[in-house]
Chains A and B, each alone.
With several copies, the nearest count.
Chain A
Amino acid sequence: MFINAAAPRDPNLEKFRMEVREFCQTEIGPEMRRILDLGQHLPKDMHDGWLKALGRKGWLTGHWAKEHGGLGWTPEESAIFRDETDGAAAPWLAPFGVTMVGPVIYTFGTPEQKARHLPGIRKNDVWWCQGYSEPGSGSDLASLKTRAVRDGDDYVVNGQKIWTTLAHWADWIFCLVRTDPDAPKKQQGISFLLIDMKTPGITVRPLITLDLGHHLNEVFFEDVRVPAENLIGEENKGWDYAKFLLAHERVGVAEIGKFGRYLAQLRKLLGETREGGRPLSEDPGFRRRLAELEMNLSTLKAMHADALAQGTPGLISAAALKIRGSELQQAILQTMTDVLGRHGLAYQADALMAGWNGELVGPEESAGILAEHLHRRAATIYGGSSEIQRNIIAKGALGL
């Protein structure tokens, strides 16, 4: 259909929205609030405290079915939860446990695996990270080389992962490893392993990014012995589980709830930055850009709502949301950077350490905004680059 039929609105959802909003306001104390507002690096204990608070409410895994210990949220409820927590600039809902490995475990895991791992994910007692990418693989994930060789009751793992977000905090990692190097297709012969990060032979090396922050890591495996009971599903079928999981990631990546917050921050910055003595919020060019960014966000939200209304979003919707969402994210951050250009683009990365009290140059939000700008240059790269997304639509939806 050219024109969508309108989805009816559920008034109960507004109540839930208010509940989440209030929770965010109450649970994020002033100290954490200030760190978040400045875009500083949040210490692990604070981040953990927040996630555990969500875990106690059951909200961390609200989108899980009740049989797995979730609350069985509808897609709309999940969206509201994301929207509100993002909009409150709440700490990042690290997806590795709750939307990645958790669903894989409850879908494909053994009863023992479920019993062992799901409670820790629901309560955030265990931090997870994702071991997919490798130095040579880039967008071609299936070309991964990390080897796992069966030896008695163990797999012996050798190889290297890269771009491993939060590996330096993680207790466990879920990995794609090659168990059959002779399989006829590279997508075959891959297995899905859960690995305790404390296992001997694992080395985590920080990977510093453009913003000079430490979010990512390289993870090296040298004769790491992993009990075979940590294999998910069948050996050599790991690619199927990975595909299941990638589909999950693609919709989540848009982070739309954050964008409204960015725009509020931009508006504030425009009001507080002067050009020729007048606030930039009076500048016609910036007003027009702000109006366009708001328009783009409103369209993105409409696309998102329409995609949710479809149940499982189609291939085009998911890819289009990823492409446009990441573009918009970068456009807003670029606009903020253009405002900060008025202050000479000083970048005091030290100011991102909570409690820093050096002498500031420019607005106090500068460092946080510029760090986010640099960090989100990756938004059009990670989770399937914009180019890969277009390939996906071309092949999958247009039959090219």
Chain B
Amino acid sequence: MPAFSSEERQLLHDSATEYFADRYGPERALALTRDDGPDGFGRAEWKSYAELGWLGLMLPEDAGGSEGGLTEAAILFAAAGAELAAEPLIPCLVLGAGAVTGLGTEAQQAALEGVAEGEKILGFLHYEPGSGFARDHVETIARPTADGYALTGDKAFSAGAHAADLLVVSARIGGPDGPVGLFLVPGDAGGLHRVPAPALDGRRGAAATLDGVAVSADALLGGTTDDRLAAIDRLLDRAALAVCADMLGAMTKASEITTDYLKTREQFGQKLSSFQVLQHRLVDMRICCEESRAAIHAALTAQDENAPDAAIAAWRAKAETARAARFVGGQGVQLHGGMGMTDDLGIGHYYKRLSVNEALFGDAAWHIDRLAAREDARAAQPAAPEMAGA
């Protein structure tokens, strides 16, 4: 049962789309990401998101949230992606806050305080230099100490981590064979060294080194020593799906921009939009958007209904959307010709946004490998019952 009605979703979409169309876009994104300050995104924007209730969309009521599903959040992310918003919405809301909401004890839910109000940004550090896209490879160790844990290890570049006030960090408890736990680590913790950098599209993040970062015992989310790999996997599936929404917004916009450009630009005495080859290319871009939209919708519904195939639907959505994004982004630049190569025009920034999103939390090929690995399991079963059920 979704927390939001279709009408409420429509309203959310309308207000988010209007906000970003009016107050964001490639130029604003460029100004923010190239700013010399440490953030690379808009603190004022973040405050507005809080005021508009967006930062609390998925949070529990107790944390000042409206308990929406991933679908509601996705409506926001899509609108943000369409105008290249640079704020770390997904790492903060889906991963950081998602981890606390889902795994935190009642006491630990206090970590969510200030998130809805835009006063606290959460981050997520899980991937490591040796993990690639694999989600079960954790070398960081949380060594038990007298009054808690000391965390030591390296974490790979993670979007938004540079600006997080509080980070959710994965580590193996006790030693290299220990269960993986998630720890709450303040951004200013001693021994935490962050190396900030821009991603290909300018959005910033950081890699990190933890050198005996001391946290108290109640920093371990859930307060037990259960292995959290499955929970992390689910969180990352949700984050991947959230990224799909961002991509959908960005690629829809990239298609529109390109269509509009070809309608105005003339060559050989004709509008470029009159060339059939270019028309069909635009059509294929549009179809890619429609396909992604459908796959994402199905996956979001599965996620919010907690359907048994929710994970598979998310993998499929990420694979389809990442492929679509590669085509749409690449053709967007191509059809703009030389102009598409310039830093001045918007289309190149959509290309870069889509390139980064493609890779975030696993690219198309990696997700298809996951789906194929599932085939392995099925291949062991006899084929006949499949036939009957098909």
* B13 contacts partner chain A, Cβ-Cβ < 8 Å: yes
| B 364-382 to A, binary, CB cutoff 8 A, 1 in contact else 0 | 0100110110111011001
Give chain A nearest CB distance to B317 CB in angstroms: 8
Q: Whole-angstrom distance between the alpha carbons of A137 and B343 in the complex?
A: 19
From known contacts A5-B6, A139-B267, infer whether A398 and B132 are also in contact, taking CB-CB under 8 Å.
no
* A230 contacts partner chain B, Cβ-Cβ < 8 Å: no
A3→B300 contact, CB < 8 A: yes
A133→B157 contact, CB < 8 A: no
Binds B, one of A175-183, A220-228, A295-303: A295-303
* B145 contacts partner chain A, Cβ-Cβ < 8 Å: no
Interface of B is mostly: helix
B132→A280 contact, CB < 8 A: yes
**Residue among A285, A345, A374 with max Cβ neighbours from chain B (10 Å):** A345
B338→A133 contact, CB < 8 A: yes
Which residues of the other chain, A, contact B343 by a CB distance below 8 angstroms? 208-210, 212
B338→A3 contact, CB < 8 A: no
B297→A302 contact, CB < 8 A: yes
Give chain A nearest CB distance to B229 CB in angstroms: 12
Question: In chain B, what residue has the closest Cβ to A347?
Answer: B200
| B 291-311 to A, binary, CB cutoff 8 A, 1 in contact else 0 | 101111110110010000000
Question: In chain B, what residue has the closest Cβ to A269?
Answer: B383
B313→A298 contact, CB < 8 A: yes
CB-CB contacts below 8 Å: B19-67 with A: none
Question: In chain A, what residue has the closest Cβ to B321?
Answer: A299
Which residues of the other chain, B, contact A90 by a CB distance below 8 angstroms? none
**Residue among A207, A343, A344 with max Cβ neighbours from chain B (10 Å):** A344
* B106 contacts partner chain A, Cβ-Cβ < 8 Å: no
A288→B342 contact, CB < 8 A: no
Q: Whole-angstrom distance between the alpha carbons of A263 and B383 in the complex?
A: 11
CB-CB contacts below 8 Å: B341-390 with A: 341-344, 348, 351-352, 355-356, 358-359, 363, 365, 368-369, 371-372, 374-376, 378-379, 382-384, 386-387, 390
Which residues of the other chain, A, contact B313 by a CB distance below 8 angstroms? 298
Contact among B75, B301, B372 with A1 in the assembled complex (CB-CB below 8 Å): B75
Q: Whole-angstrom distance between the alpha carbons of A294 and B295 in the complex?
A: 12
B197→A348 contact, CB < 8 A: yes
Give chain B nearest CB distance to A221 CB in angstroms: 19
Binds A, one of B93-101, B110-118, B271-279: B271-279
| A 240-280 to B, binary, CB cutoff 8 A, 1 in contact else 0 | 00000000000000000000110111011011111111011
From known contacts A274-B132, A292-B368, infer whether A344 and B157 are also in contact, taking CB-CB under 8 Å.
yes
* B10 contacts partner chain A, Cβ-Cβ < 8 Å: yes
Give chain A nearest CB distance to B121 CB in angstroms: 18
A345→B359 contact, CB < 8 A: yes
* A306 contacts partner chain B, Cβ-Cβ < 8 Å: yes
Which residues of the other chain, A, contact B74 by a CB distance below 8 angstroms? 3
Contact among B9, B78, B263 with A5 in the assembled complex (CB-CB below 8 Å): B9
Binds B, one of A39-47, A57-65, A196-204, A389-397: A389-397
* B153 contacts partner chain A, Cβ-Cβ < 8 Å: no
* A284 contacts partner chain B, Cβ-Cβ < 8 Å: yes
Complex A-B, nearest 4 residue pairs according to Cβ-Cβ distance, in ascending order: A275-B132, A341-B359, A344-B157, A276-B134
Which B residues are within 8 Å of any A CB, using their own CB?
A: 2, 6, 9-10, 13, 71, 74-75, 78-79, 82, 127, 129-134, 136-137, 139, 156-159, 195, 197-200, 205-207, 245, 248-249, 252, 259, 262-263, 265-268, 273-280, 282-284, 286-287, 290-291, 293-298, 300-301, 304, 313, 316, 319-320, 326, 330, 333-334, 337-338, 340-344, 348, 351-352, 355-356, 358-359, 363, 365, 368-369, 371-372, 374-376, 378-379, 382-384, 386-387, 390
A sample of 12 inter-chain contacts (CB < 8 A) reads A163-B338, A207-B342, A210-B341, A279-B379, A291-B371, A330-B330, A344-B158, A344-B205, A374-B352, A378-B338, A387-B280, A400-B279
